[in-house]
Structure 1
């Protein structure tokens, strides 16, 4: 990534081609909105030379790339000779098996924004995906899929967990779920220190507001009060699907160290 970004500022063709040979696949494809389409290392070198002639003294600053599997993205800023910003954008990369860049699709400017379906005002009626969430849902199961391929009930809930989650039409959410087999306290309403310390291990409880991103397929719970005071003011992001009366929430990262996925299934209460 560093060599590719630097290549756009190298005027000497031999030196530029040497950099590209290290990072660019021989049949790699570059495209951007100008429109530019360059197929192969030689064609890309020519595109860079043309860019330098049209923008003398300009150079790029590139971000550290974000990567998963063989895909990558990075943002960039184009600076003029005086250091002022000319424009900015993002590049999407496909990587070859040998680690070289196979394809780049470039975009200029900031990405388009997403308008939440649920407006900021709590009194606004739910619409779209938010309207489908509205109601009371009873817990069916909470399952962790581990990185070693095994599965287990969520330790906070257990195999016989019980609970509810409620989404209101005015944008509020409350959830309470826990292990129905947790031990009773020796004295009613007066837990011992050991009994009190076990409460967060067997119970999840919070309330707040929520917003839905239909395009992204997720809901965000904006926590206003939580059993754990450290979680108050945080967000819980959940991807979701609704099929008939079945709601499935998939917890977004970060997850516990050994957990690959957390799936919480609910059934609508009628």
Structure 2
């Protein structure tokens, strides 16, 4: 089950690299529960549309922004992941930790990002 959660996590993080709403929705339909919520120091997204808007806003600020998981651990339908935020040139511009919770079908119901907020 833990390997399945890691696959779910990696599929979810791949949505951050996508550039179209359709691509993100396709990924979300595979790995997110309908009621999934996202939080980090800058936002709270209570719907898929709100999360997609946040992803688009990030890409306006950092074109090609995406995340690379550097460490993943899970148990009891919960996970933590260390990650690096990269530019389209693959330059690391930030690091952080995320905590996820999963439903009985292995879909994410909660994604919580932690990183330094210098704004």
Q: TM-score, normalised by structure 1?
A: 0.38
* Poorly superposed stretches of 4+, deviation over 4 Å: none
Aligned-residue CA RMSD (Å): 1.4
Written as runs of structure 1 = structure 2, the 5 A alignment for 1:75-94 is 75-94=82-101
Match of 1:39 among 46, 49, 57: 46
Shift of residue 53 of structure 1?
A: 1.4
Partner residue in 1 for 2:5? none
Match of 2:102 among 95, 104, 125: 95
Structure 2's unaligned 5+ residue stretches are: 1-8
Written as runs of structure 1 = structure 2, the 5 A alignment for 1:164-175 is none
Shift of residue 29 of structure 1?
A: 0.8
Match of 1:6 among 14, 18, 21: 14
Between Structure 1 and Structure 2, which shows a larger proportion of helix residues?
2
Aligned length: 108
The structure showing larger relative contact order (alpha-carbon pairs under 8 Å, at least 6 residues apart) is 2
Partner residue in 2 for 1:108? 115
Greater Rg by CA: 1
Match of 1:49 among 45, 56, 79: 56
Partner residue in 1 for 2:81? 74
Distance 1:97 1:46 in 2: 27
Contact 1:28/1:40, CA 8 A, preserved across alignment? yes
Between Structure 1 and Structure 2, which shows a larger proportion of strand residues?
1
Call closer, same or farther: CA 1:67–1:18 in 2, change over 3 Å: same
Q: TM-score, normalised by structure 2?
A: 0.83
Partner residue in 1 for 2:3? none
Secondary structure of the corresponding residue to residue 63 of structure 1: strand
